Amino acid sequence: MKTLSENACFGGTQGVYSHASKATGCDMTFGLFMPSEAADGPVPVLWYLSGLTCTHENAMTKTGAQGWAAEQGIALVFPDTSPRGDGVADHDDFDMGQGAGFYVNATQAPWAPHFRMWDYVTDDLPQLLGAHFALDMSRQSITGHSMGGHGALTMAMGLPGRFRSVSAFSPIAHPTSSDWGRKQLGGYLGKDESAWAPHDATLLMQSRGFDGPVLIDQGADDQFLDLLQPEALAAAIAKRRQPATMRLQPGYDHSYFFVSTFMEEHVAFHADALYA
């Protein structure tokens, strides 16, 4: 692991690091905020998964999450959204290839050799973090925005017992029935739609649900609302009678202005679960 930068931040440290990933077969970069409490012992962890076209840096610099995490004594992990590098497959469209890993383990050419973001976020990076930083990996929660909200919800429901709470900002909620989902799932996972189901939050809510608190915020003026399909996830939550808070926020769009507005509430929501 290499330290790319470390900056004092709200009494703690905002670092950026790179490492050779076994999961993706290439070098990966991630951001990690450590609150001051980490000097005295391991602290709980909140994962933030970013959306299409983002890197580790977008949420790290635009959400204002570090200040709220510092108040709660929580570490923040900002993974990248895909493998990168000259030897990594890419696409001319912004919603495939580098920057658009969709948090799945690809099985199709040319993506399969490197696009294993599920394993990277759930196995490879957690092992590295646990070995090198004062983190209590028994206390983890997860959140994300857009494609990252999709990843947060599917990982939380797909890995029972891993995360104490899950939240999402404008998640891609039902990708198996959306044009903004079928393209990526088909491209990465092939034509067999049974392989897509574990990566659809609505289908997972119908079949499994989540054993913990759920918070979802969606901007009512989101320019991608028809592609995100929050109504499908809301219906699945209602039918399952899943304990959850799902809010439609008037006037807000899909941007980081929306995310940063409600970040304080999301961090506090996760703090309640992590310190329960």
Residue 127 · residue 87 · CB < 8 Å: no
Cα–Cα distance, 34 to 43 (Å, whole number): 8
Catalytic residue check, 56: no
d(CA 178, CA 212): 27
DSSP string, 119-157: HIIIIIHHHHHHHHS-EEEEEEEEEEBTHHHHHHHHHHH
Options 146, 165, 167, 178, the catalytic residue: 146
Q: At residue 251, what is the residue type?
A: G
C-beta neighbour count of 241 within 10 angstroms: 8
Alpha-carbon distance of 82 to 97, in angstroms, equals: 8
Catalytic residue among 178, 222, 266, 270: 222
Q: What does the alpha-carbon distance between residue 226 and residue 6 come to, in Å, rounded to a whole number? A: 40
Per the annotation, the verdict on 146 as an active-site residue is yes
Given the residues 145, 150, 254, 270, the one annotated as active site: 254
Name the token pair of 28: 């990966």
254 belongs to the catalytic site:
yes
Query: Of 125, 144, 138, 123, which is closest to residue 214 (Cα–Cα)?
Result: 144
Q: Which positions are annotated as active-site residues? A: 146, 222, 254
